[in-house]
Amino acid sequence: MNLSPAPAIHSATPLLDIHNATVIRGDRVLIDLPALAIAQGQHTAILGPNGSGKSTLVKLITRQLYPLAREDGSSHVHIYGRERWHVSELRKLLGIVSPALQLDYTSDTPLEVFDAVVSSFFAARGLGLDHQVTPAMRERAMEALQLIGADHLAGRQMASLSTGEARRVLIARVLTHQPRALLLDEPCAGLDPAARRHFLETLRGLARQGTTLLLVTHHIEEILPEIDRVVMLQQGRLFADGNKQQLLSGHALSQLFGMDVSVDKRDGYYAAQL
């Protein structure tokens, strides 16, 4: 297996560039985005209530869905300047973590933690007889576990881990490819308050080390201090896009969620009160 670096990308190329992206299911518009661009290094939160289009946006980015084609050819979803990537190349640029993916790794089928991480080099759930793990792969996998403070979990079965522990192992799995960015889809779902704060502090460390974070959530409490930009979605459309300090206000959040919301700020984090 080649541990080659990520493809060369010009620093001015946006991480994400969406233009005229519409997804329809039946007679319902799931998402309709005329334009959305996120620069490399721009930590961004995608915020919105349930049904706002967040999950559809994630599926557009991960190529589980494609936007409707337009006659003028103006519809596109570009990641690092390209619409189509080979999966092995894209893994070196964008890592994806979500509770849905976690279910595949914590089922009753036995899977050891280190194997779950190192098997990412083969795009597999675990190691097979035909997988030849090199010393370089082993070193990279252990470095990734150490980076997010989960190396002590090596040897454990994935099914035996807490939700927070398993979530950190999945981040280590994507970090083996040293991606430039992480797409985090509701990453704190299922975590208790203490595990959530510990997990968020892990993400803060990654952000400070240069990994761009795209955080998809409906909880403003999960928006890290390092995140400056907030993109708000409502009913599949762009509701607001701008600076965190301006948008994480009682007025804007009350309009977004359709109820009175007040906001407190402490230690760089925001909290909503209904």
Has residue 25 been placed in a domain?
no
Q: What is the DSSP letter of 104?
A: T
107-to-158, 162, 171, 186 alpha-carbon distances in Å: 8, 13, 18, 20
Range of 161's domain? 94-178
Taking 80 as the threshold, does the pLDDT of residue 7 lie above it? no
CATH number of the domain where residue 161 is located: 3.40.50.300
Q: What is the mean pLDDT of residues 143-151?
A: 91
Residue 219 lies in a domain: no
- In order, the DSSP letters of 174-238 are HHTT--SEEEEESTTTT--HHHHHHHHHHHHHHHHTT-EEEEEES-GGG--TT--EEEEEETTEE
Q: Per mean pLDDT, which range of 32-41, 195-204, 213-222 is the poorest? A: 195-204
Examine residue 243 and state whether it is found in any structural domain, yes or no.
Answer: no
| Pick from 96-100, 127-131, 153-157, 262-266: least confident | 96-100
Whether 79 is in a domain gets the answer no
Integer Cα distance of 255 and 11 in angstroms: 36
> What pLDDT is recorded for position 1?
43
How does pLDDT run across 186-217, given as a tens digit for each residue?
988 888 888 888 889 989 999 999 999 999 99
Least confident among 54-58, 125-129, 258-262, 267-271? 125-129
In this predicted structure, the answer to whether residue 226 has a pLDDT above a threshold of 60 is yes
The domain tally of the chain equals: 1
Query: Please, what's the b/e burial string for 202-211 (b: 16 or more CB within 10 A of its CB; e: otherwise)?
Result: bbbebbeeeb
81-138 pLDDT, tens digit per residue, is 998 888 778 878 999 888 777 777 777 678 999 999 999 998 888 888 899 999 999 9
Helices (H) and strands (E) in the chain, counts: 9, 11
Of 9-13, 70-74, 129-133, least confident by mean pLDDT is 70-74
97 vs 167, 185, 189, 210, 214, CA distance in Å?
8, 6, 11, 17, 11
| Inside any domain, residue 146 | yes
Mean pLDDT of 132-153: 93
Q: How far apart are CA 55 and CA 143, in angstroms?
A: 31
Tell me whether residue 212 is in a domain.
no
Residue 35 lies in a domain: no
Mean pLDDT of the chain: 90
Q: Is residue 37, in this structure, part of any structural domain at all? A: no
